[in-house]
Structure 1
Amino acid sequence: MAAERARPATVQRSPARAECRVRIDGPDVTADCYNPYPDSDHVQLHIECDRWWDPDVDTAPVEAGPAQTVRLAGRCWLPVREAWVSHER
C-alpha cells in the first residue's frame, strides 16, 4: 500500500461568514476558520469517509466570534472521501 500524501488545504469562502481552510492528511481532517466580521458565525466540520463501513463524522458546532480563529478536527479510520464546513448564524 503506497503512502498517501497530504492534500493541499482548500479555502471555503461565504459572504459575511468565517473563512475556513480544510486540510485532509490521510485519515485526518483539520479545518481552521477565521471570522473577520463583527457578527459571530457557528461552524461545523463534516467528514465523509471513503469506506462504507467507516462512520462519517460531524463535529459539534463551534462559535467563531468576531476576529476569532477556531480549529475543528476529525478523522476516519481509512481515507477521507470529502470534507467541508457548514455555517450557521
Structure 2
Amino acid sequence: MRTSWRSASVLGVVAALVCPAPTVAVSQPHRESAARPFGADCSVYVEGSRATAYCHNPYIDTDRVQLHVECERWWDVDADSKPVELGPTGRATLSERCWKEIRTVWVSHLRRPS
C-alpha cells in the first residue's frame, strides 16, 4: 500500500500527540489552597418573619458563615447573625428574624485556611 503525503503528515501529527517529547520537571509554587473546593452547604428556610439556615462544612478549610436578613418594611431593622466558624465536618444552625415580612435572606462565606 502506498502512503500519500497527506496521510503521512496526518500520521506524523497523530504520532506527535500520542508520543509527546520528554519534558523536564520544574518546581512550581505550592497552590493547593486555591484549587481546593470550599464553602459550607447551607439550606435556608423562611417561616413567617423568621429565617433559619442549617450549614454543614464538608471541606478541609474552615468556613466562617453568617446569615443576613433584609426586612421588607423600611422601618424594620435588617439583621445579621453572629458569624460562626465551621471547621471540617462542622455543623451550625443560624437564625434571625424581622418584625414583619422578610425581603431577602442569604448566607455569606469567608475562607479561614486551616
Interval of TM-score (by shorter of Structure 1 and Structure 2)? 0.7 to 0.9
Secondary structure of 2:76 counterpart = coil
Please state which structure has a larger fraction of its residues in helix. 2
Please state which structure has a larger fraction of its residues in strand. 1
Q: Pick from 87, 91, 113 the counterpart of residue 65 of structure 1.
A: 87
| Structure of larger gyration radius | 2
Q: TM-score, normalised by structure 2?
A: 0.64
Q: Stretches of 4+ moved more than 2 A in 1?
A: none
Q: In the TM superposition, what is the alpha-carbon distance from 1:16 to its structure 2 partner? A: 1.3
Deviations 1:39-81 (A, max 9, x none): 1100000000010000000112101110011010000000100
C-alpha RMSD of matched pairs (Å): 0.8
- State how many pairs are aligned: 75
Higher relative contact order (CA 8 A, sep 6+): 1
Q: Pick from 21, 36, 42 the counterpart of residue 58 of structure 2.
A: 36
Structure 1, gaps ≥5 residues long: 1-14
Structure 2, gaps ≥5 residues long: 1-36
Which residue matches 2:97? 75
Distance 2:66 2:95 in 1: 10
Q: Percent identical across equivalent pairs?
A: 53
